[in-house]
Amino acid sequence: MSGQKLSKAIEAEDTMERLRQEIAEAHREWENANRYFNYAVGKDQIDYAIYNIISAEKKYEMLLREAKQLSGDWQAWEGVRG
C-alpha cells in the first residue's frame, strides 16, 4: 500500500471511530432526555423535556445517516453501551 493510500485508510478509520463515539454519546443523551421526561413535573419541565428528547433524537438520527453515507468497512458493533 502506498503512503498516500495508507494515510487515507488511517484517516477513514479515525473518522469512523470518532463517529462511533459521537453516536454512542448521542444515544446516551437521548436516554438521559427520556429519563428526565419520566421525572418532569409541571408544564415548563415537561416542555423542556420534550424539547430535549426531540433534539437528542435528531442528533442521533443525523449521526446515523452520516455513518451510513461513509463508505468503509465498519467492524462489527455490538450497539451502544453506556
Residues with Cβ within 8 Å of residue 51, at least 6 apart in sequence: none
Q: In this predicted structure, what is the pLDDT of residue 15?
A: 86
Average pLDDT over residues 42-46: 97
Rounded to whole angstroms, the Cα distance separating 22 from 18 reads 6
pLDDT of res. 16: 86
Cell 452520516, residue located: 66
CB neighbour list of residue 70: distance below 8 Å, 6 or more residues apart: 12, 15, 16, 19
Q: What's the pLDDT tens digit per position in 28-38?
A: 999 999 999 99
